[in-house]
Chains A and B, each alone.
Chain A
Amino acid sequence: MSLLEVRGLSKRFGGVQAVADLSFTVDEGDVVALIGPNGAGKTTAFACVAGFLAPDAGEVRFRGRALRGLAPHAVNALGIARTFQIMRPFPRLSVVRNVMIATLGRHPDPREAEARARAVLDEVGLAARAAVPAGALTLAERKRLELARALGTEPALLLLDEVMSGLTETETERIVGLVGAINRRGIAILLIEHVMRAVMSLARRIVVLDHGERIAEGTPAEVAGDPRVIEAYLGEEHAGAAAP
């Protein structure tokens, strides 16, 4: 049985079919990348999986359990944690408090939650910034905080929405290393990413979306050679927004 099973997922916003009949699976301990041009429906698919949007059709199962109708916090409690593309730190709370909000779910005692939060901050390399208000962090640090908070909920599946966009090359490499290490701890990862080098080195399987539909799926090598994928991306290159 797959850890996550998405079947026939559809979501429409007015006249725009954001996601159309999308199916894919993520296995225990897997790393799957969801790629595609801007507006392909990746973030919408994420929101449907994490309970932030109700799909018009189709279903999402996690460990065999249908997620329909569950509030986001309930989906999180089952073991799915998401990050936001546009990061949402609690700006006036300290960095360690930010992560505590995540760890308190499984560790109701604040002292224990704080110890857990500090351990997670250690893991993502933010321990030195624990006491700083989150609003004062740099972009790269905020990306790490977003990751730390998701990890703090102790998920079995981590949904990463562009945690590398806007970072320098060294910063990206460090995040790639970090995500790889998280995965080796047994946490399955579903990532949306435009940074192709990161996708190619992390993902075991890639699902390619265009206009809400799955146009290809396979290993990184298979997908990179697929003519439909090249076409979808060439269109984007014309628009001058190609991924490096």
Chain B
Amino acid sequence: MTWLALGGLAVLAVLPAVLGPYALSVFINILFYAYLGQAWNIVGGYAGQLSVGHAAFVGIGGYTAAVLAAETGLTPWVGMLAGGALAAVLGGVIGYLGFRFGLRGFYFVLLTVAFAEVCRIVASNWERVGGAVGLYITFTGDPRQMQFQDDRAWYYIALALTALATAIVWGMERRRFGIYLTAIREDETACEALGVPTFRHKLGAMVLSSFLTGLAGTFYAYRYSSLQPGAVFGIPLSVEIVIRPIVGGAGTLLGPIVGSFILTPLAELSRAWFGQGGWHGAHLIVYGVLLVAVVLFLPQGAVPVLGRLVRRAAP
């Protein structure tokens, strides 16, 4: 298992050498969404608290770093951490409200969506941060300002982020915190009876998850040199974040990565394909069909099924 992981990491590390510019950008997206999925996986997959408002953390993270850079000249490398911290604060507020008042299932989903929408509306109307037009970052190509002449830098940053988040989840699975989360997902009442402080653990999962998601906001802002409220706070991004770990296997270590390797190329292909015919947004139909198929035939996601196949092939 360890060798497989290191082998996979080694292949991914040398991959940019053989990729063309388009394939490279697809792989950057694969890793970026794998990272976001892994961050979501902590609270949505392991703890079973379905947040469909994670775009809020991406937006908060991105705006924080970009505004700090514009107003104080702070390098986004540090602004990234500030953005993560602010996202964690928002995650803490959402988690506190949701978990203190016992919002479960759909009600928690609605709470998270509502917070993300409020963030979007605030950002759209706040002229200091660009209002509805958003923020544009002047391209200088200076790595100290997280800007690069060569896109391979983004690839390696995305790879490092994915590896980091996956290592955190790997460690979590082996500690009391992560083991508790898997039980909280199954039955919170039984957990309480067995001495598990469920509130504190759900809140911890939410804060950690929103911090990591917030880091991705800076990546997004500087990779595209721009931030629009609709794009970074909107429901579509929240759905993109949620759907990969669900298809890959929510609450599994490799689920978000496998899910992203399945869905991201599919999204790119169908976007390119349907986009030419003027069918913008048709890739969402592909998503919808795939999600229905996963729910019907692989409710645990792809990873458990792949695991069984691997074990059958190599007994």
Contact = CB atoms under 8 A, between A and B. Distances in A.
A71 B197 contact: yes
Contacts of A105: 194-196
A65 interface: no
Interface residues of B, number: 20
A90 B251 CA distance: 15
A51 B194 CA distance: 12
A108 B190 CA distance: 18
Contacts, number: 79
Interface string B193-217: 1111111000000000000000000
Contact of A101 (B174, B189, B196, B197): B196
A93 B193 contact: no
Contacts of B33: none
Nearest to A106: B195
A101 B179 contact: yes
A90 B187 contact: yes
B182 interface: yes
Nearest to B186: A90
A72 B192 contact: yes
B193 A82 contact: yes
B191 interface: yes
B186 A84 contact: no
Contacts of A71: 192, 197, 199
User: Which one of A74, A89, A102, A109 has the highest number of Cβ atoms from chain B below 10 Å of its Cβ?
Assistant: A102
* Interface SS of chain B: helix
Contacts of A89: 187, 190
B193 A152 contact: no
A199 to B, nearest CB: 23
Contacts of B86: none
Residues of A in contact with B, size category: 20 to 34
B179 A104 contact: yes
A104 B197 contact: no
A73 B195 contact: yes
Contacts of B195: 73, 76-77, 81, 102, 105, 153
B180 interface: yes
B311 to A, nearest CB: 15
B228 to A, nearest CB: 41
Interface in A96-146: 97-98, 100-102, 104-105, 108-110, 113
A88 B174 contact: no
A88 B179 CA distance: 17
A184 interface: no
Given A88-B189, A92-B186, A93-B186, A110 B175 contact: yes
A51 B174 CA distance: 30
Contacts of A101: 179-180, 183, 191, 194, 196
A25 B194 CA distance: 23
B179 A100 contact: yes
A110 B176 contact: yes
A69 interface: no
B186 A91 contact: yes
Given A92-B186, A93-B183, A50 B176 contact: no
Contacts of A82: 193
B194 A152 contact: yes
A76 B176 contact: no
A97 B179 contact: yes
Contacts of A149: 190, 194
Interface of A: 50-52, 71-74, 76-77, 81-82, 84, 88-93, 97-98, 100-102, 104-105, 108-110, 113, 149-150, 152-153
Given A73-B197, A88-B187, 9 more contacts: A51-B192, A72-B192, A76-B194, A88-B189, A89-B187, A104-B196, A105-B194, A110-B175, A149-B190
5 contacts: A52-B189, A74-B197, A76-B192, A81-B195, A101-B194
